[in-house]
């Protein structure tokens, strides 16, 4: 597996009912993945299989749509489906809970039902994603539905209920509820759990306590590998050394650097892949195309009904490209520009100063226009695109290590936190970046937009803070 090693042992559960009912598939990250009969009932539905129809890859060379969205349009090898990722999370979730049972079985009272529930949560955690991953809910929907609070996690819950009813899947209602609670465990809408429950099970797939979960384990390794990037984060060490103390998964203190690498590798992927300047240019264009097509294709109307929503996938791109309707002309033209690499032109980016972050407001095209000096070409909002990109370790400006509990050795039941200064003085003083990138939708306006953006920086921050300026060959272009 190159720099990123295989995850987990390739063995089926010791609690198999009938091995003949199980199936296995070979995954290029984790090796053989064994699928239990109940999971297969969900996998063998058109709703789950929908995840295999779209581009997915690294969050995130010009189009990366699944875990990474449109990144594969910049990293050509970064193409995999959310289907593969879901199987990977299913497998790692099973490995995690089985390791806990092996190490603390009598103490934790983990049974086969617990294992299957956690695995199902891993399998189904992303089933509610829209076309082109997070771009759909974070960029497209807010532009066509004012104040949209729609989330793919909530749709996952609705879609799971629909799948159970539509395909008469025999699953205990109590187990089904736990599966859904595990999926939204990291969200603001996560239900409050009783201290009598096995709360540690809710930390495995979507960890709302500290952000360490098998969802990250899979996509970090899968995306790094797909993009040809090095990956020195070894999640196996965390799986092998974790221990439950006071109903919480804790980690051996000697693995504190492995924990930090999890978050720093994630941040590196966001900076170099998921939010690559060209990837964001393509995403801006694609969102514009979806917004312009929405009145005709009614894309946003699908989000309220699971029976219709599951039919919405990445094929909407081909629909826009091939439909000759006059109402789709602007959208068609944008998609064709993407295909021909006639992209919105990157002008400049800034990293917002730390002392401005607490009161930062998203920069808009209007902000840039208001900073244009009088005379010459007058910019319009439709000439400019702005991308506000937040990159953090996973807890905003807070150090994620502060939310994690460690233990000294396996004989100890005392848990403790490790502060940053105890680890290394090389770790960042601040744990979040806010990048503002400005693009010209018209290649001939790059110089005008760049100058207006520089004026905006002087007005807001007193200095021009961009790391690299617009190349001269682009700045010399003038409107004909």
Q: Which two tokens stand for residue 40?
A: 């297969």
Within-domain flag for 331? no
Whether residues 253 and 368 fall in one domain:
no
Within-domain flag for 240? yes
Containing domain of residue 445, as a range? 344-393+428-480
Whether residues 56 and 152 fall in one domain:
yes
For residue 478, the model assigns a pLDDT of: 45
Within-domain flag for 192? yes
- Give me the half-sphere count of Cα atoms (radius 13 Å) on the Cβ side of residue 231: 29
Q: 3-class DSSP state for residue 210?
A: coil
For residue 334, the model assigns a pLDDT of: 96
Whether residues 78 and 199 fall in one domain:
yes
d(CA 477, CA 448): 9
CB-CB contact of 79 with 73 (8 Å) = no
Within-domain flag for 296? no
228 backbone φψ class: left, alpha, beta (φ>0; ψ -120 to 50): left
The number of folded domains in the chain is: 2
Within-domain flag for 474? yes
Taking only the tens of pLDDT, the chain with its 480 residues reads 334 444 444 444 444 456 678 898 999 899 999 999 999 999 999 999 998 865 433 333 333 334 444 444 454 555 568 899 999 999 999 999 999 999 998 899 999 999 999 999 999 999 999 888 889 999 999 999 998 989 999 999 999 999 999 999 999 999 999 999 999 998 877 777 777 789 999 999 999 899 999 999 999 999 888 887 778 889 999 999 999 999 999 999 999 889 989 999 999 999 888 888 998 999 999 999 999 999 999 999 999 999 999 999 888 989 999 999 999 999 999 999 999 999 999 999 999 988 888 889 999 999 999 999 877 889 999 999 999 999 988 888 788 888 899 999 998 899 999 877 676 766 777 788 999 999 999 999 999 999 999 999 999 887 776 656 566 656 555 444
Q: Considering all CA atoms of the chain, what is the largest pairwise distance in Å, rounded to the nearest integer?
A: 78
Within-domain flag for 242? yes
**Which residues lie closer than 8 Å to 453 by C-beta, 6 or more apart?**
347, 348, 368, 371, 438
Q: Last residue of some domain: 230, 254, 277? A: 277
Whether residues 57 and 203 fall in one domain:
yes
Whether residues 270 and 352 fall in one domain:
no
Which of 125, 152, 260, 405 is flagged as catalytic? Answer: 152
152 in catalytic set: yes
Q: Last residue of some domain: 236, 259, 277? A: 277
d(CA 242, CA 103): 9
Give the residue from 97, 89, 82, 79 showing the smallest Cα distance to 127.
82
d(CA 266, CA 223): 10
CB-CB contact of 143 with 111 (8 Å) = no
Whether residues 253 and 380 fall in one domain:
no
Whether residues 125 and 213 fall in one domain:
yes
CATH number of domain containing 359: 3.30.70.2760
Within-domain flag for 127? yes
Whether residues 233 and 362 fall in one domain:
no
d(CA 130, CA 151): 9
- DSSP-derived secondary structure letter, 249: E
Task: Classify residue 425 as exposed, middle or buried by CB count within 10 Å of its CB (0-12, 13-18, 19+).
Answer: exposed
CB-CB contact of 403 with 209 (8 Å) = yes
Give the residue from 205, 259, 187, 237 showing the smallest Cα distance to 403.
259
d(CA 84, CA 70): 17
The pTM is what?
A: 0.88
For residue 53, the model assigns a pLDDT of: 67
CB-CB contact of 63 with 343 (8 Å) = no
**Which residues lie closer than 8 Å to 194 by C-beta, 6 or more apart?**
none
Q: How many residues does the chain have?
A: 480
Q: 3-class DSSP state for residue 396?
A: coil
Phi, psi of 392 (to 5 degrees): -140, 180
d(CA 115, CA 13): 9
Q: Identify each DSSP E strand in 308-353 by its residue range.
A: 345-351
CB atoms within 10 A of CB 174: 10
CA angle 191, 196, 201 (to 5 degrees): 65
Q: Which two tokens stand for residue 18?
A: 């009938």
For residue 320, the model assigns a pLDDT of: 95
d(CA 363, CA 456): 10
Within-domain flag for 69? yes
Q: Report the Cα 197 to chain-centroid distance in Å.
A: 29
């Amino acid at each position: 597996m190159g720099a990123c090693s295989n995850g987990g042992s390739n063995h089926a559960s010791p609690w198999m009912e009938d091995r003949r009912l199980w199936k296995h598939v070979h995954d290029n990250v984790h090796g053989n993945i064994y699928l239990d009969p109940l999971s297969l009932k969900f996998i063998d539905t058109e709703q789950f299989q929908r995840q295999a129809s779209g581009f997915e890859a690294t969050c995130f060379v010009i189009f990366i749509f699944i875990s990474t969205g449109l990144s594969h349009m910049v990293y050509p090898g970064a193409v995999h489906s959310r289907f593969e990722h879901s199987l990977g999370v299913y497998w790692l979730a099973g490995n995690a809970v089985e390791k806990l049972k092996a190490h603390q079985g009598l103490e934790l009272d983990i049974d086969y039902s617990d294992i299957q529930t956690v695995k199902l949560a891993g399998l189904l955690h992303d089933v509610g994603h829209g076309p082109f991953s997070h771009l759909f809910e974070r960029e497209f929907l807010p532009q066509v539905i004012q104040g949209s609070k729609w989330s793919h996690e909530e749709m996952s819950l609705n879609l799971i209920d629909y799948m159970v009813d539509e395909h008469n899947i025999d699953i205990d209602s109590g187990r089904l509820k736990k599966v859904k609670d595990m999926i939204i465990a990291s969200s603001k809408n996560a239900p409050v759990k009783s201290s009598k429950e096995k709360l540690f099970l809710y930390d495995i797939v979507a960890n709302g306590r500290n952000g360490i979960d098998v969802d990250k384990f899979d996509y970090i390794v899968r995306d790094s590998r797909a993009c040809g990037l090095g990956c020195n984060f070894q999640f196996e060490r965390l799986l092998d050394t974790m221990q439950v103390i006071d109903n919480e998964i804790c980690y051996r203190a000697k693995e504190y650097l492995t924990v930090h690498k999890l978050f720093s590798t994630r941040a590196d992927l966001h900076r170099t892949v998921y939010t690559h300047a060209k990837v964001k240019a393509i995403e801006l264009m694609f969102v514009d195309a979806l917004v312009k097509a929405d009145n005709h294709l009614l894309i946003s109307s699908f989000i309220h009904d699971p029976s219709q929503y599951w039919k919405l996938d990445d094929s909407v791109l081909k629909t826009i490209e091939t439909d000759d309707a006059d109402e789709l002309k602007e959208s068609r033209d944008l998609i064709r520009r993407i295909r021909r690499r006639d992209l919105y032109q990157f002008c400049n980016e800034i990293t917002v100063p730390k002392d401005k972050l607490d009161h930062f407001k998203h920069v808009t095209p209007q902000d840039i226009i208001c900073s244009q000096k009088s005379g010459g070409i007058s910019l319009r909002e439709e000439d400019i695109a702005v991308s506000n990109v937040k990159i953090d370790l996973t807890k905003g400006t807070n150090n994620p290590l502060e939310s994690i509990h460690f233990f000294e050795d396996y004989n100890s039941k005392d848990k403790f936190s490790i502060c940053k200064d105890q680890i290394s003085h090389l770790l960042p003083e601040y744990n979040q970046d806010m990048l503002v990138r400005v693009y010209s939708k018209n290649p001939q306006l790059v110089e005008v937009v760049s100058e207006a953006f520089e004026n905006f920086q002087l007005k807001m921050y007193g200095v021009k803070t961009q790391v690299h300026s617009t190349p001269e060959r682009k700045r010399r272009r003038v409107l004909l």
